[in-house]
Amino acid sequence: MADLSKITCIEDLRVVAERRVPRMFYDYADSGSWTEGTYRANESDFQAIKFRQRVAVNMEGRSTAVTMVGQKAFMPVAIAPVGLTGMQHADGEIHAARAAEKFGVPFTLSTMSICSIEDIAEHTSAPFWFQLYMMRDRDAMARMIQRAKDAKCSALVLTLDLQVIGQRHKDIKNGLTAPPRPTVKNILNLMTKPQWCLGMAGTKRRTFRNLVGHVKGVSDMHSLAAWTNEQFDPRLSWADVDWVRQQWGGKLILKGIMEVEDAVLAAQHGADAIVVSNHGGRQLDGAPSSIHALPAIVAAVGDRLEVWMDGGIRGGQDVLKAWALGARGTMIGRAMVYGLGAFGEAGVSKALQILHKELDVSMAFCGRTDIRTVDRSILVPGTYPAPTIAG
C-alpha cells in the first residue's frame, strides 16, 4: 500500500488508478467522445482563470460550509453520478458513499451503477441522491423512482443529455462490458491487476444491480444489453421532466444544461437546481467547457434556482473559481473515480481532503474567510468568461 501522506494532488491518484484498474474501466472514466476536445477544454479553461492575491488580511476562522438544495455540505462539492463505479473497485459505490458521508458532502448514485439503491441504503446512514436516466419503459422508471423514495433519497438528479450516446472511441475499441468478457486481451490485462481481481472475487456485485432483476425481461447481462440499447429515450421532452417531477415530489436537480434557453425552461418546469454540464466531455464533442457556459446561465436564472456545474474539476482551486463565477455547488466525477481506483474508500476520502485543502487555502490567499462572501472580485478581470446573456 502506497503512503497516502505522499499523495498531494488528484493527478497523483490518477497515476495510481491507471496502474491498478483494468484498462477498459480506467479508459471508461478517463476519456471523452470523438476528438476529446471538449473533455480537454473542461480542464484548460479552468487553468486560464487567474486569482487576485490579497495580503495582510485576517485568515483565521475560515469556513467552506454551504447548503445544496437545503442539505448541509462541508464544502460546495457533491460526488457526481458515475456509471460503472463498482468496476473501478469492488463495491465502489458503497465505498464512495461512505467516504462522502464521513466527509460531509452529498453522494449521487447513478442509474448505471454496479451497487444498487438498496445496497447504498443498507451500508450508509446519511441521505443520498439518486440519478435517473429517462427510459422508454415508464413503468420501470416509476418503480425506480419509488425505490429511491423508499431508500429515503433526499434529491433526484435527472440527466438530460444522454438521449443518444456520444461516440467514445476507447469504449468501442475496448469492448466495454461489466463484468469484462473473458477474451484473451482482457485476461492478459486482468493478470496485471491482482488486487482488483481479488476484490471482485470477494463481492457478488458485478453487474448493473439497479436494473437486473428490477425491470421486466432483464435477468442477466445479455438481456440487459438488449434492453438498454432499446430503452434510452430519444424522445425525452420537458413534458417528461414534468412527469418525473410529479412522480418524485421532492428536490429535483436537472443535469446537462449548457444553454441559457434550457436553463430558463428548467426554471419554468420547477427544477430546484441545475447542473451546467457537458457530461464530462463524453457527449457532444465541440461543445464549450462547462466553466465557459456557467456565467451566462447564472446571470439568466441564478435568482430562480441553484446553479451548479461539473466538468474539469481537478482541484479545490477549480471549485473556488466556479463558486466565484456564481456556481452554488459543484459535482466531481473523475476526481472521485481516481481516488477510488487507487485506494478504495481511503482514496475517495483523500480526494475530498485534497479538494478541501486547496479550496480553503486558496480562498484565504484571496482574502476571504467564508466562501459565502466569495464572488468574481477575487478573479483577475479578463481571465474569466464574461457573465453576459447572448441575444
C-alpha cell at 9: 494532488
28 is in an annotated binding site: yes
310 is in an annotated binding site: yes
Query: Judging by DSSP bridges, how do beta strands 108-109 and 129-133 pair with one another?
Result: parallel
127 is in an annotated binding site: no
Length of the chain, please? Answer: 391
54 is in an annotated binding site: no
ω into residue 180 within 30 of 0, thus cis?
Answer: no
206 is in an annotated binding site: no
175 is in an annotated binding site: no
Amino acid type, 334: R
39 is in an annotated binding site: no
Asked if residues 93 and 113 have their Cβ atoms less than 8 Å apart, the reply is yes
Q: Find residue 307's DSSP bridge partners.
A: 274
User: Which of 89, 95, 279, 356 does the annotation list as catalytic?
Assistant: 279
347 is in an annotated binding site: no
321 is in an annotated binding site: no
168 is in an annotated binding site: yes
Q: Which of 77, 96, 81, 67 is nearest to 129 (CA)?
A: 81
The Cα 391–Cα 386 span in angstroms is 14
146 is in an annotated binding site: no
Q: How far is CA 113 from CA 88, 110, 178, 230, 237, in A?
A: 11, 5, 10, 19, 24
138 is in an annotated binding site: no
222 an active-site residue? no
Q: 284: Cβ–Cβ under 8 A, 6 or more apart, which residues?
A: 33, 38, 161, 166, 278
Amino acid type, 99: A
82 is in an annotated binding site: yes
104 is in an annotated binding site: no
Asked if residues 43 and 210 have their Cβ atoms less than 8 Å apart, the reply is no
Residue 25 half-sphere exposure toward CB, CA atoms < 13 A: 33
C-alpha cell at 49: 482563470
Q: Find residue 253's DSSP bridge partners.
A: 157, 273
231 is in an annotated binding site: no
Instruction: Give catalytic residues, as residue numbers.
Output: 279
Binding site residue list for glyoxylate: 28, 133, 168, 279, 282
Binding site residue list: 28, 81-83, 110, 131, 133, 159, 168, 255, 277, 279, 282, 310-314, 333-334
Binding site residue list for FMN: 81-83, 110, 131, 159, 255, 277, 310-314, 333-334
